[in-house]
Structure 1
Amino acid sequence: MTTTATTIPSSGQRNLDAVLLLRRGSVYLPASGPSAASESLAGVTLLESDLIDRGFLVSARLREALAFLAPEVLSATGTALLAHLDTQIGADRDHTPLFRRFPQSVPGDTLAFWTDRVLTLLLQAPEQPCVLCGTLGSVHPVAPCAHLVCSACFDGADFAACPICHRRIDPADPFLRPAKARPAASARRGLPTRLRVLSLGGGPTVRHAHAVHELNTLLARSGALSPQDTDDLGALLDGGGDRANLGWLPENIPGRETKARVLSWLLEDRSLFNVSLPAVTAHLTTATDVLRLLSVRSGGDPGLTDATRLTAVPRPLRRALLQALDGMTPQMVAEDLNRRPGRWKAVAERLHVYEYADRYPNASLAFAALRSTPLGNDALSAVLRDTAQAANGIDADGDTIRVPLWATEVETALAAADVPGALTPLSRRPGELVRRLDHLLRLAGPDGSEPVLAALRAAAPRVAPAVLLSALGAVRSRTQPPLPGRVFFPKGATARAYITQDERVPLDPGAAETAVRILTDEILRRAATLPAADVAVLDAELGGVIAPFAERTASRALVTLPRGSELPVPDGRALRLFLHWMESAESGRTDLDLSVALFNERWEHVGTCAYTNVRFGGDAAVHSGDLTSAPPPHGSSEFVDLDLDKLASLGVRYAVSVVYSYNNVPFVTLDDAFAGLMVRDEPGSTGAVFDARQVEQRYDLTSASRASVSLVVDVAGRTMRWLDVAQGVTGTHHAVHRHADGLAVLAEYLTALFASGARVSLGELALWHAAARARTVVVRHHDGSTSTYRRQAEEGVPAFAERIGAPSTDDPADVRDATLAHLLRGDIALPDGAEAYALHPAELDAAALRMRSASDLVASLTAR
């Protein structure tokens, strides 16, 4: 059955209304008159019904405002709103599987079905009886693949593609017949956990103010933005920024990659260089800032994960960048240049460095050291020698410029196990000291850890919050039994996980405990500087949500769930995985495959549900069939149904969902590609194959990888863990059974990593915020019960934080009094002005509350 929806191109950039709708749940309406209420009331009711079918409700204020719109304005507004939501959910695409009566009509024997296809392909002849059933006159070619298909053996009312090759065929081909109607879905089917109440945003002025607020929120983050936030940043700059008047631009943008994007945006209008160039140079504080800016201007990545061919640099910008470099310490510039020598040599060509040697001698000196420019008796050499003499620590007495490198000093000391020698340079860069904390503690040993801990105490107040949290999790996990292996997430364009054996010696428990205490106390100290609250409420279930890390490679998703997070599967409901993709001119014919690998409790492979085995255990896992092409405009979709009770009875403990590009086409080359998860109440054959109301997660496939491992389901524990990583594959003809062993190692090690405490959870972060900022903390449990903890008069913040969660509690407090809330689901009526985070915002109104994202909770702990 084909689903229909209002469509807008999902591959295009979202406009400002769509961005604010997703980020705030706010709807912005045009001006209305008081006379249209009675005429539009029926239309509002219909719109509400359509929204409920997508998992959204309407607030009372929004409903009232909608009712006052003129009918034609209401129609246009509702159509645009539904289109935006359909794009977010994935309902803006055709979702017709190979077997249109899926899961009922999926063959019970994959091998027998494959044999029939092969016999037909090899032996079928035109104008001859069918080789399978012997019927005369039932065999005809289908377009455009021209395979000979018997209409008696293959049901044209069920198949949505060629039964032989599974490629999409012409919708007008006579083989295809109208599909039989599917049983209607129950009108009482459950609403999704992600259910959200849409609120009234306001008019154009309020819309602009909200855009500026969201823009400032992104600009305040110290870490790299996720791809989705990066997309939003572009729309928010266009809607809330002004290149001619820079009063909105903060003096400091802590996120280096974000800063590069903003500065590049400022430079897009060359007629405003007189305004933008001074602002740009004021924000460039390191040489790498310059390289990031040039990379973004050239269409590259500000994270410098790929080599980008630099575009021409206009002369005014060239001088401004050299001026910025010239104002920095030459040794620091030389250090930055030495990290990426090849790219900086290309920059030197674009900036014509030596042309401005007299005007910008410090910049020329750094590039001369990078390029090993020979010194002679010419004018340039004289300038370089004079500049080097004025700069301490730079040697220009020989034939070339020589700059002692900080990295060399550190690595030499570490290689010699010289802890004091390493601490001296590391103390000048506190972030690097904290990143190397584990290595330093190992080298120091239990008897020599005090200097390292003293250096840590001095460095912690000057370190970015993400670095503190990462070090805290890593160090504390090193006192526990070792994990199966070490997992690395190297910086790159895709979320690749690398696994090696852990050959490190264990950390001294005493030193590790002290380091964790120093880091925790620093986090609590920073949290205490934030606005105070009388009562704070937090959900205990946030303990399964991981504090965000490595957001640069996070997939664009309907629900922003940090990698590694674990959430419960609702009881008594079935899971339906889905995949949709559409080919492009660049990709050519593309065959993506949605697959599920099944493992027992020892991570031994016990089966698959994929195109090679469309049924596992009867109805325990059912695949919708393998579509092998996805031409526009409809593309192709695949589904897998999972019955957790039946899987458990067959000895399955873990189900790992993965998408493979069978013919090795990178996801990024496709016009459209996304996957997701539905949680269903009714039997699989009831209702639409794709039900927008039951979609709990939808994420884009846009990386350069060929295999995406999205999640692992713990069948016995009834939980889902969000992985969102790429699996490395080589060659072609990818299939899950060929990669089962590697998939088992990847999923097992990642599951062990995230369950070990090596990553700080959002629940812990919320607890630290609450303990430092509130006198009363209410913990809400899964069953709805609460535990209250009140800070005593003489009780310090660290002691209070440690006591929260203990069995002994204080007199109950009302959660509705909370002005600080960290929730899994926003189903509490909070007072206006309260600060709140909710994974699922539900009924929380961003116009009345100070809504925070998980990334904002981390960014708020920036050192001040």
Structure 2
Amino acid sequence: MDGLAEMLLRHRRLVAPSLLATVPAPEPAGPEPRGWRRRKVTTAPEVSDGLVALEADLLVLGYLLSAPLRRRLGELTGTELANAGRHLLQAVLAELGGYVDHVPLFRNFPASIPADTFEFYVRRVFTLLVQQPEQPCVLCGKTGTVHPVAPCAHLVCDACWDGADFSACPICHRRVDPDDPFLRPSDAPASGAGREWRPERTTLLWLCDDPAESARDLLQTLLARQTPLRREDRAAVATLVEGFWPRSAGWLPDRIPVRETRATVLAAALRHGAPEDLLDRHADSAVDVLRLLYALMDGDAGLRERPARRSSLSRPVRRALLARLDRMAVPYLVEDLHRHSEAWKHMAEVLHPFEQYRRHPDAALAFAALRGTRLDTGTPFARALLERAAEHPGVLRFDGVRLRPITFAASVETALRDGDHARALELLTRRPGELVRRVVQLARNTPAGHLAEAVAGAAPKASPGVLIAALGQLRTPPGGTRMFLPRGGSARIWAEPDTRRPIPADAVASVSSALTAEMLRRAAALPAVEVAVLDEALADLLAPTAERSASSALVRLPRGSVQPIPAGERIRLFLHWAEPAEQRVDLDLSVALFDERWRFTGLCDYTSLRLGGTAAVHSGDLTSAPEPLGASEFVDLDVRALRALGGRYAVPVVFSFNDVPFDQLVRGFAGFMDAPDGLFDPLAVRQRFDLAGPAKILLPLVADLWSRTMRWADLNLSAAGAFHNMDGNHEQLARLGAALEDAFGLGDRVTLWEVSCWHAAARAPVVVVRHRDGTTSRYLRGPAEGMGDFAGRLTALTVPDDSRETLGGAGFAGAVEGDLELADGAQVYALHPRDLDPARVHMLGATDLVGQLSPTPPSGTA
């Protein structure tokens, strides 16, 4: 139940359901005697005092108890309240990164950081090479002060190296035995000691009476999403299905839109002997079966990385999967196998498709074509497959030795290569999702009217993520930078100048109109509301189209979005990790500084602990992180001083110096905060994100010091080419940072503001807009005004009707800050929910806001 608790906390973003799942409700009373009247329950003084103290501790961290939650806590005994309060505070601190001790190399950071990193390095090397046991110190000449430290056994002089400041070996920077005499108590102030802090925002904690009901609601919400889930969400799906099986089987919908999510569900269900009809219902293509195989082997259902090891399958599972493949249409089966040919060849050794070729002839036929199996031997096996292949002349051809596939993709590519765009369009109309994905490619060579008509026919069957991506690509003119983000979690990112010729204006207008009309049509099918409230600042947040590789974060930002950095002059970046018992892990937190033209200006990392005196200060390079302490590194940034050095862009990067992937860490996270009072202050944390997945390098953001904003990048970089430090790779980093700004800053991508405007224009006759300066405007849909015209007026913020409307009583809202008065049951997206109560309103994530615009009835992700 504790695992469920933590998961509900992370996914609800509003802490309390997790902890109350572990707190026992008061024991139910027995039958009440006739004429007996229940007395009002009173709270014992010690419980009342403890509750007040708990509320105060939570308020300091920015959290409030809802009324039902407070009542439930007040019904506990003193011991139960203490236990619940402790777990609740730990859970809140975990969200902020404050549940561990943060001890950097220099405990008196930033005051004790050496002014000259090179001199510090020379002293370490000189000591390592020359220092001898039972001899005077080679640095200071004192005798009796040199001792080995455990476990690295380096000879350290107590007079030259301050054991009250260092938390690790001064020579190799690895953690030492906590009981080693070299380490002495530090006088460094405790984190946040004596600080008076008023939280910037508050979040309401709510009561979860029934964990199973909350689990069902969360599972159904995740399964209904139309875009690929984050890693943490996929893990939650598996936990919920397995943790509540077989009851969870009844919670599954008839159709799960996202194929990766289907694979996660099926893998969890098959481990418990799920019925065959579940496989038929949720695996309707060979790619679905491949995803399932990856999930069964603890691999990536998104097919970005092969499973770490290929495990065998039980005979019933193997037969069930082959039977499912055999029931699929041969043209699609053959094509799907060739789409992921290497992966299927790898998995064929587990499935043994030829073992039962008479029972599963179509599956055997498809694998024979995939593997190029020789069929010229005249054996019963060859005769059976050739007879079967003869039934599909347009799909397979026999060259006398092997079967060769004729795939749909090859036909489309041939038509495009030959310049027969009419033929390509005719083929693509058979597959709506593929047509919408290729719309930019087609728009340059296809008459606008024909293409718009085809897109209008295909759009109702495509997922909202595909429509949004196509709309953004259409509206972004060439001339900037094209950036390719491979699906692999640690694959190389590619960027190049966009030299394509422009798309004709009439094609952009007509196809964009068809895509927008489809989104408005879907929005109009949702429940109508009287008033909608929108926040203009949503224009800084991009609409998510996929979140497969997105990091788990305190504030969930879609990649490419822009948000303000902390308002103070000093910002502190932090990194914490802990290594497994048998594996040393050396992570590094680094920051590179560039000017407005992306020319390298300076560096703050383990090779340069100070930049410009105090403009940037690094806490020191820890090279190991054994449990329970782990390791922490910090970098302090002085915004004004960095700008004085000619810097505009600050780019932080987390490296795994010794090539250990993040997913092998016991724990790992990073983030940034306002300059704290003390070393680490949870109250000051503004963003915290996990280090996860197979990546070894993470670029979380690009900070623009001129505009005091940061663009959320969340990019896992390839470690190829020895990209393990900033000094030798700042040119590559500059190209990447500039490409990010071009790709996300110069384009006309769909934002959450535009998505919210689609919702509002189609569902509400009255829309109130809160502007960036705090003023409001009211928009009224005219009697003869179409949805498209109203949405266009809203999106462009032109011609408001008046500015008298208040922000209360709305049935739909999209905002950055959740400080709104809404009607009961209102649907609301808020980046920062504040004190919105999920018991009163229906909270939406960014993916939910987009996912509501899914095809009806669902047709899957195209």
TM-score normalised to structure 2 length: 0.91
Is 2:631 aligned against 1:631?
A: no
Report deviation, 1:70. 0.9
Report deviation, 1:379. 4.7
SS in 2 for 1:717: coil
Q: Output aligned runs, 1:623-772, within 5 Å.
A: 623-680=618-675, 686-687=677-678, 689-730=679-720, 734-772=724-762
Provide the rounded CA distance (Å) in 1 between the counterparts of 2:59 and 2:492: 37
Q: Which amino acid aligns with 2:408?
A: W
Q: Which amino acid aligns with 1:814?
A: T
Could you report, residue by residue, the CA deviation over 1:392-438 in whole angstroms, capped at 9, with x for unpaired residues?
63456764545421111101011112101111211111111111111
Q: What's 1:256 paired with?
A: 259
Report deviation, 1:473. 0.6
Q: Output aligned runs, 1:51-70, within 5 Å.
A: 51-70=58-77
Provide the rounded CA distance (Å) in 1 between the counterparts of 2:730 and 2:248: 57
Report deviation, 1:329. 1.5
Cα distance, 1:716–1:343 mapped onto 2, change above 3 Å: closer
> Mind listing any 5+ residue stretches in structure 1 that lack a counterpart?
1-12
Provide the rounded CA distance (Å) in 2 between the counterparts of 1:631 and 1:74: 33
Report deviation, 1:136. 3.9
Q: CA RMSD in A?
A: 2.4
Q: What's 1:515 paired with?
A: 511
Conserved 8 A contact 1:833-1:850 = yes
Report deviation, 1:717. 0.1
Q: Output aligned runs, 1:164-313, within 5 Å.
A: 164-182=171-189, 185-193=193-201, 195-201=202-208, 203-204=209-210, 207-239=211-243, 241-243=244-246, 246-270=249-273, 273=274, 276-308=275-307, 310-313=310-313
Q: What's 2:553 paired with?
A: 557
TM-score normalised to structure 1 length: 0.91
Is 2:797 aligned against 1:809?
A: no
Q: What's 1:365 paired with?
A: 365
Q: What's 1:482 paired with?
A: 479
Provide the rounded CA distance (Å) in 1 between the counterparts of 2:792 and 2:719: 45
Provide the rounded CA distance (Å) in 1 between the counterparts of 2:534 and 2:366: 52
Q: What's 2:525 paired with?
A: 529
Conserved 8 A contact 2:60-2:198 = no
Conserved 8 A contact 2:609-2:618 = yes
Report deviation, 1:463. 0.9
Q: Which amino acid aligns with 1:124?
A: Q
Conserved 8 A contact 1:579-1:638 = yes
Report deviation, 1:35. 4.9
Could you report, residue by residue, the CA deviation over 1:56-93 in whole angstroms, capped at 9, with x for unpaired residues?
22223322321221111112222222232333322222
Report deviation, 1:836. 0.8
Cα distance, 1:135–1:475 mapped onto 2, change above 3 Å: same
Provide the rounded CA distance (Å) in 2 between the counterparts of 1:149 and 1:382: 78
Give the number of aligned pairs. 831
Q: 1:416 aligns with which of 415, 418, 430?
A: 418
Cα distance, 1:140–1:829 mapped onto 2, change above 3 Å: same
Provide the rounded CA distance (Å) in 1 between the counterparts of 2:379 and 2:172: 73
Could you report, residue by residue, the CA deviation over 1:22-58 in whole angstroms, capped at 9, with x for unpaired residues?
2222333421273544331122223223323443222
Q: Which amino acid aligns with 2:289?
A: V
Is 2:606 aligned against 1:604?
A: no
Provide the rounded CA distance (Å) in 2 between the counterparts of 1:261 and 1:741: 40
Q: Which amino acid aligns with 1:842?
A: R
Higher mean C-alpha displacement, 823-832 vs 25-34: 25-34
Conserved 8 A contact 1:97-1:639 = yes
Is 2:585 aligned against 1:595?
A: no
Is 2:565 aligned against 1:569?
A: yes
Q: What's 1:158 paired with?
A: 165
Q: Which amino acid aligns with 2:394?
A: G
Q: Output aligned runs, 1:101-116, within 5 Å.
A: 101-116=108-123
SS in 1 for 2:530: strand
Q: Which amino acid aligns with 1:412?
A: T
Provide the rounded CA distance (Å) in 2 between the counterparts of 1:438 and 1:45: 60
Could you report, residue by residue, the CA deviation over 1:106-144 in whole angstroms, capped at 9, with x for unpaired residues?
222223333333333344344444443444433333222
Provide the rounded CA distance (Å) in 1 between the counterparts of 2:353 and 2:347: 9
Provide the rounded CA distance (Å) in 1 between the counterparts of 2:106 and 2:355: 68
Higher mean C-alpha displacement, 368-377 vs 559-568: 368-377
Cα distance, 1:638–1:340 mapped onto 2, change above 3 Å: same
Report deviation, 1:390. 4.6
Provide the rounded CA distance (Å) in 1 between the counterparts of 2:806 and 2:167: 56
Q: What's 1:861 paired with?
A: 853
Higher mean C-alpha displacement, 300-309 vs 562-571: 300-309
Is 2:438 aligned against 1:450?
A: no
Conserved 8 A contact 2:653-2:697 = yes
> Mind listing any 5+ residue stretches in structure 2 that lack a counterpart?
28-40, 857-862
Provide the rounded CA distance (Å) in 1 between the counterparts of 2:745 and 2:407: 39
Q: Output aligned runs, 1:396-411, within 5 Å.
A: 399=400, 400-411=402-413
Provide the rounded CA distance (Å) in 1 between the counterparts of 2:226 and 2:166: 51
Conserved 8 A contact 2:51-2:74 = yes
Provide the rounded CA distance (Å) in 2 between the counterparts of 1:854 and 1:375: 56
SS in 1 for 2:701: strand
Provide the rounded CA distance (Å) in 2 between the counterparts of 1:803 and 1:164: 65
Report deviation, 1:459. 1.3
Provide the rounded CA distance (Å) in 2 between the counterparts of 1:386 and 1:169: 71
Q: What's 1:6 paired with?
A: none
Report deviation, 1:848. 1.8
SS in 2 for 1:607: strand
Q: 2:100 aligns with which of 77, 93, 98?
A: 93
Q: Which amino acid aligns with 1:413?
A: A
Could you report, residue by residue, the CA deviation over 1:256-304 in whole angstroms, capped at 9, with x for unpaired residues?
010011111111123xx5xx22222232211111121122112222122
Report deviation, 1:596. 0.6
Report deviation, 1:489. 0.9
Higher mean C-alpha displacement, 130-139 vs 421-430: 130-139
Report deviation, 1:607. 0.5
Cα distance, 1:813–1:495 mapped onto 2, change above 3 Å: farther
Conserved 8 A contact 1:591-1:628 = yes
Conserved 8 A contact 1:605-1:741 = yes
Q: What's 1:9 paired with?
A: none
Higher mean C-alpha displacement, 282-291 vs 316-325: 316-325
Provide the rounded CA distance (Å) in 1 between the counterparts of 2:648 and 2:86: 44
Cα distance, 1:390–1:636 mapped onto 2, change above 3 Å: same
Report deviation, 1:677. 1.1
Cα distance, 1:521–1:186 mapped onto 2, change above 3 Å: farther
Provide the rounded CA distance (Å) in 2 between the counterparts of 1:146 and 1:245: 55
SS in 1 for 2:457: helix
Conserved 8 A contact 2:242-2:269 = no
Cα distance, 1:231–1:137 mapped onto 2, change above 3 Å: same
Report deviation, 1:387. 4.0
Conserved 8 A contact 1:540-1:779 = yes
SS in 1 for 2:727: helix
Cα distance, 1:385–1:662 mapped onto 2, change above 3 Å: closer
Conserved 8 A contact 1:36-1:71 = no
Higher mean C-alpha displacement, 558-567 vs 722-731: 722-731
Q: Output aligned runs, 1:12-91, within 5 Å.
A: 15-24=3-12, 25=14, 26-27=16-17, 28=20, 29-32=23-26, 34-91=41-98
Higher mean C-alpha displacement, 789-798 vs 136-145: 136-145
Higher mean C-alpha displacement, 139-148 vs 433-442: 139-148
Higher mean C-alpha displacement, 372-381 vs 152-161: 372-381
Report deviation, 1:306. 2.7
Provide the rounded CA distance (Å) in 2 between the counterparts of 1:156 and 1:730: 38
Is 2:795 aligned against 1:793?
A: no
Provide the rounded CA distance (Å) in 2 between the counterparts of 1:61 and 1:395: 65
Provide the rounded CA distance (Å) in 2 between the counterparts of 1:420 and 1:597: 50
Cα distance, 1:317–1:163 mapped onto 2, change above 3 Å: closer
Conserved 8 A contact 1:460-1:522 = yes
